[in-house]
């Protein structure tokens, strides 16, 4: 049956038989999950010789949930992720029409998964549009609960929009075109600091040398600019013994972690021109959305980009495929399962099962180096052998 993971005073307490809920996903999700879960089980078996084994429990969301329960996101699914702390999911369809804007957004907000964590690195042999993709090795911490992601909007032409426009003119003297739609961009010291705190702690735990705060504070001084300022405050308040700002060290942090900041538009240039200068990135939501997809493109595309949504205080974390459902390929056993496989690698590392995580990396590196890959890579790699989704899982296991 398995044993639940719990949260102790020192962090996660993971039994040898943890219950891990999963959502296989919509569209290509079932194909991807079937390959990925075999990779996960094989890595755990090889790493621990049968002493550890995951107790997988399926929970429902998306089209499968709607068909079976009448709900896109049943309460039981949210409760399972909250109860068992660590879970994983495939891609989900965004419902059309009113109600839930996005199932992914709903899960993150209901469970307060404030850190969207995206590691981005290149695997040797993966086709890339840049000359030196090996220089990209970053981990993005994107704030998940505030900024435009909060979804506080009123539609153009509605009574709500008129009322808000009138209020803003009366209270603040702001002249806003009367036919405008309006979005509110809340950013708080609490939300910003807990995200930046998680990024600095990650850098400490993983031997990373710098944390870069990415913002648009030159224009949005009281939101994005405040994010930057709150980050530097946090360094002095909580991390002065292990981290230091660029201003306080002149760019020479010694044996401490360097905390610096870059304007968002300049950052999108610099990840192309000098990616080796960046390590861990902490940023508000919208900047992180742009950066994570731009960086994924540099190392081979979002098809193999992993992601995790984590609350480091409660321990609740959901790891996920970062790509869409690709319904036209559903059931064809064709697409690349790399995003979910690497998200599982992130999950095991988060659980402290580093040996299993290392085997997954070894297997994936071996499969790609052997040029035995799914169609998306095969069409771009000279001398490649194209395999199905399920076969790619077998190849990864064989290279562990």
CATH of the domain at 343: 3.40.718.10
Tell me: the pLDDT tens digits for 24-60?
999 999 999 999 999 999 999 999 999 999 999 999 9
Whether 247 and 311 share a structural domain: no
pLDDT at 94: 76
Asked if residue 175 and residue 114 are part of one domain, the reply reads no
338 and 362: one domain? yes
87 and 118 share a domain? yes
| CA dist., res. 387 & res. 375, Å (int) | 7
Percent of the chain with pLDDT over 70: 98
Q: What does the pLDDT look like over 244-290, one tens digit per residue?
A: 999 999 989 999 999 999 999 999 999 999 999 999 999 999 999 99
Whether 134 and 269 map to the same domain: the answer is yes
pLDDT band at 100 (very low <50, low <70, confident <90, very high): low
Q: Which residues contact 210 (CB under 8 A, 6 or more apart)?
A: 203, 253, 257, 258, 259, 260, 277, 278, 279, 280
Catalytic residue among 17, 265, 358, 394: 265
Which of 299, 331, 352 is the last residue before a domain boundary? 299
Q: Read off the pLDDT band of 96 (50, 70, 90).
A: low
33 and 118 in a single domain? The answer is yes
For residues 120 and 162, state if they share a domain: no
Helix (H, G, I), strand (E, B) or coil at 219: coil
136, 169, 184 - which closes a domain = 184
Active site residue 289: yes
Do 248 and 335 lie in one domain? The reply is no
Q: Looking at the 3D structure of the chain, how many domains does it have?
A: 3
* Residue 216 designated active-site: yes
For the stretch 323-358, pLDDT in tens is 889 999 999 999 999 999 999 999 999 999 999 999
Note whether 121 and 58 are same-domain residues: yes
Catalytic residue among 149, 202, 232, 350: 149
Confidence (pTM): 0.94
- Rounded to an integer, the average pLDDT of 114-130 is 93
What angle in degrees, to the nearest 10, is found between the helix axes of 338-351 and 354-369? 160
pLDDT value of position 302: 75
The residue that leads in pLDDT, 255 or 104, is 255
Percent of the chain with pLDDT over 90: 90
- The answer to whether residues 104 and 132 belong to one domain is no
Q: Is 358 a catalytic residue?
A: no
* Domain range enclosing 353: 1-126+304-399
Measured between alpha carbons, how far is residue 253 from residues 25, 116, 263, 384 in Å? 44, 27, 21, 45
> Is the predicted pLDDT of residue 367 greater than 70, yes or no?
yes
Are 59 and 134 in the same domain?
no
Token pair listed for 343: 């998200």
Whether 265 is catalytic is yes
Residues 52 and 86 in one domain: yes
Residue 303 pLDDT level (bands cut at 50, 70, 90): confident
């Amino acid at each position: 049956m398995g044993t639940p993971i719990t949260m102790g005073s020192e962090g996660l307490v993971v039994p040898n038989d943890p219950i891990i809920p999963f959502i296989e996903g919509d569209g290509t999700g079932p194909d991807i999950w079937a390959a990925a879960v075999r990779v996960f089980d094989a890595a755990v078996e090889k790493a621990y010789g049968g002493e550890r084994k995951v107790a997988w429990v399926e929970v429902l969301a998306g089209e499968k949930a709607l068909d079976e329960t009448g709900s896109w996101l049943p309460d039981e699914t949210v409760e399972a992720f909250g109860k068992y702390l660590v879970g994983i999911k495939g891609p989900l369809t965004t419902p059309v029409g009113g109600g839930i804007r996005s199932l992914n957004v709903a899960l993150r907000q209901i469970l307060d998964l404030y850190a969207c964590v995206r590691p981005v690195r290149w695997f040797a042999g993966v086709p890339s549009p840049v000359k030196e993709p090996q220089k990209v090795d970053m981990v993005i911490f994107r704030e998940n609960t505030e900024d435009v992601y909060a979804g506080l909007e009123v539609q153009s032409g509605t009574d709500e929009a008129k009322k808000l426009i009138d209020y803003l003119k009366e209270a603040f003297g702001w002249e806003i075109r009367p036919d405008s739609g309006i979005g509110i961009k809340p950013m708080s010291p609490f939300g910003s600091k807990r995200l930046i705190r998680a990024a600095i702690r990650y850098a400490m735990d993983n031997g990373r040398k710098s944390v870069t705060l990415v913002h648009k504070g030159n224009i949005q001084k009281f939101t994005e600019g405040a994010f930057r300022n709150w980050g530097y405050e946090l360094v002095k308040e909580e991390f002065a013994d292990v981290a230091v700002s660029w201003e306080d060290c002149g760019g020479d942090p010694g044996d401490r972690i360097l905390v610096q900041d870059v304007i968002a538009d300049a950052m999108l240039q610099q990840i192309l021109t000098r990616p080796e200068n960046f390590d861990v990135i902490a940023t508000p939501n919208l900047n992180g959305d742009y950066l994570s997809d731009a960086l994924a493109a540099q190392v081979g595309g979002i098809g193999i980009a992993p992601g995790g949504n984590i609350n480091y205080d409660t321990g609740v974390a959901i790891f996920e495929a970062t790509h869409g459902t690709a319904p036209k390929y559903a059931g064809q056993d064709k697409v690349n399962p790399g995003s979910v496989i690497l998200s599982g690698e992130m999950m095991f590392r988060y659980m402290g099962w580093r040996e299993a995580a290392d085997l997954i990396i070894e297997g994936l590196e071996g499969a790609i180096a052997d040029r035995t890959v799914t169609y998306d890579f095969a069409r771009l790699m000279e001398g490649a052998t194209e395999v199905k989704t399920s076969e790619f899982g077998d190849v990864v296991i064989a290279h562990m």
